[in-house]
Chains A and B, each alone.
Chain A
């Protein structure tokens, strides 16, 4: 296909990402050279002008050496070769890619937000108060009794949940419990986390309607059950209507019910994990509360628990010290049977500041409205596309099937229409899955544009799909050769050439 955009007049139907080979042609077969290929310098560590003797130092170091303007252009060009939520819709199922309000960056950049973690408690009352208030917000939203902010990501929150469950069972003399039950459609992190915690994973099939199969659950539960990990709505967007019964069944055998917070955006102000019988949950604050994902992180994964589990939470936590007077003061404390730390300090603090600001901005009214519109958007979008959506009624996300088409190819082709595709090929319960979550931040007009992209691709033949994308910065990338011949640094590239 020829380059239709050379005249600078992008197609009406299809989107096009900025391409830097147009503005600045590179003739060495690259879209943008590496810094080290532009200019690098070797600096020798010379004993004569080093404050340390030779045997304590390295001999030399070789790194890129460029001016500030050159760096500014390099990173600006790199940024223009990235699709973010500010570039367009990003309906990645289960990832909850929301718009990120800009003011939260400013509050996280306040000088008072940047303090050393070893400061005395008396000198960082602001930091401790904000942590305390965020713990309280999250406890209310999740219907939980106590919250730790320490886990630096959702999977780290899962790990805390599993470690807390293990410590609880051990405390009760029940350390024979060595199994964690996980639905087959669950997030991969659930399985990896349970394994990291030393548990056997018992996989739970879904029933014909896409929910937990109660008979299979009954069969899986035993005196060896430490916990059942579940998200609700599940990864098909379906609410586990039998949740009260599920909770009773798990509790009856002495197990704990763990809530994966990845889908909490669907429930804000409508239902709370604590009220459903969950004992422990993590919050993906970078999903539910719209703090930026930063190209893969940092996020934060605070964990909420019921009273019985609070003594096992990571140390330290924050509490109000109960002093009277005009200003409440706050202090750190170690829970009685704490599992210790899961991060060197207190987790991803700047993300927590953004989370606090987001929740404080929206409040009850905004949070409840967000879940309503997230569910409205998912249902509207699903009604507008030509692909089959086998499971319903769904909430904030739905899983369409690409049918005879290859879902991964569909995704590549959607890029040519200027939109980010859904999550593909997962959960496996739906063939050629297109797991779609528009979130509340898309307008009807944007959803219509998204649906048009879905439908245009649905009409196209396999050959066209296999050749996609052709309007993105890079064309289809050879994944096989990347894995077969791993080149993971400029040094490896240089060795290769």
Chain B
């Protein structure tokens, strides 16, 4: 059951990822979600919203700043616990693997926080998967470009048909146990060096 009155602060310099997490929390019925992209704004934001839970991405170098801020904060009277509870080591593992660090106001019941943290972790993982897929698509596109270029060189210098040029690249790659794109790259580099 979502508990809509919980106030949640997300600090993420990556706007796309932040919005993915924000959307997930709103879908789960959490209306009081605030997203900031810069830790420098945190002072004012914390005073305004006094969050029960704070998420920050592990790549953010200002984690130290945030921890220090919490230790001084007048807005949050009690000390903070991180990752829900010190004893929840599996949860902590999962959060760190996903790249999320969570700060929870001490005294908050962990039954209330765990589902939120679970959601954030799965969204972080989903974002990482998206990024990987995008990267893969991009590199496939690059591969195709370089292979086309190599094919062109073979067609021109050896007088091959396109299909034969492709077959030659592929058999060379198989014989040498290398990627076709790598063979193509070597060919292009060599052509540039030897070319007119």
Q: Do A and B come from one complex?
A: no
